[in-house]
Amino acid sequence: MASLTTYLSFVFVICLVSPAISGPLKVGFYEKKCPSAEAIVRESVKKALAADPGVSAALIRLHFHDCFVRGCDGSILLDSTKGNTAEKDSMGNLGIGGFEVIDDAKAKIEAECPNTVSCADVAAFAARDGVRAAGGLHYAVPSGRRDGRVSLASEVIENLPGAFFNAVQLKANFAKKGLSLQDMVTLSGAHSIGDSHCSAFTKRLYSFNSTFSQDPSLNPSYAHLLKTKCPRNSPADPVVPFDPVTPNVLDNAYYNNLKSDKGLLYSDQVLWDTPLTRGLVKDNANHPSAWAGRFMAAMVRMGSIEVLTGAEGEIRKNCRVIN
């Protein structure tokens, strides 16, 4: 554990000069202004997890999708209005959840420390607490983000990595956010928890390309299982867990699944099938502690993408609407 702590301390220093970092985020930013903020978020997450263990995955995904569109500014939390369709209602955010957890924590924080803690920071704290609950991993979250005032559904798909991206496209997508190839493969390990709608991968089962109706990179028995969950031409769009064995445990099992050709999305399996990323997958599969350290450090880097700080943006009173 001492070596892991040393590693993370080193990575955190590197984070301060990473191109993904914007502005003076600081661990303990609310220590004097609202010392109970992180504890309040932790309790809201704990309460939600008691009712649904899938909340961890939802909160991690919520934070990721927020940060990749306009930076980590809480724009994904804004509701659509009569004149604007917000990010959360884009098809690229199909199935996104965790909003009620953020609302609960924010309301309690406002009651104690009004106009002080941003929704963007609440989302970052909640994602960290989801990681801890699902994987037993704990890391300090630099805070001081401000909330954005703009949320456009039209910006979602052009910024998020696609379910059928190849490794080169994934690398480029993350690079635009100041994140490395290793960050991309490391953060993909979040797909050891949570689920995906069938519509994100059924093309792999029934209409992959002109040569193969079924994606040849799919493990045949796994493909059979997926077909039972996602029948051809079904009017419904059910969800399937990324990891059918331990869907609520955040660990490096994701990488072992890829080695067995059991990646749910094409963009998952391609990480093993492509020489560019295969070595990183193999390393994460073989060294769970090293992956855990890299994952926590990558979450800090991701949480610092294009943040608003100082006098930029605002501190929303209600995460769903601008002030």
Q: CA-CA distance, 186 to 163, in Å (whole number)?
A: 17
Secondary structure, 3-state, the chain? CHHHHHHHHHHHHHHCCCCCCCCCCECCCCCCCCCCHHHHHHHHHHHHHHHCCCHHHHHHHHHHHHHCCCCCCCHHHCCCECCECCHHHCHHHCCCCCHHHHHHHHHHHHHHCCCCCCHHHHHHHHHHHHHHHHHCCCCCCCECCEECCCCCHHHCCCCCCCCCCCHHHHHHHHHCCCCCHHHHHHHHHHHHCCEEEHHHCCHHHHCCCCCCCCCCCCCHHHHHHHHHHCCCCCCCCCEEECCCCCCCCCCCHHHHHHHCCCCCCHHHHHHHHCHHHHHHHHHHHHCHHHHHHHHHHHHHHHCCCCCECCCCCECCCCCCCCC
Closest by CA position to 151, among listed 234, 224, 92: 92
Catalytic-labelled residue, pool 65, 138, 224, 287:
65
63 noted as active-site residue: no
Closest by CA position to 72, among listed 143, 130, 3, 15: 143
Task: Provide the annotated active-site residues.
Answer: 65
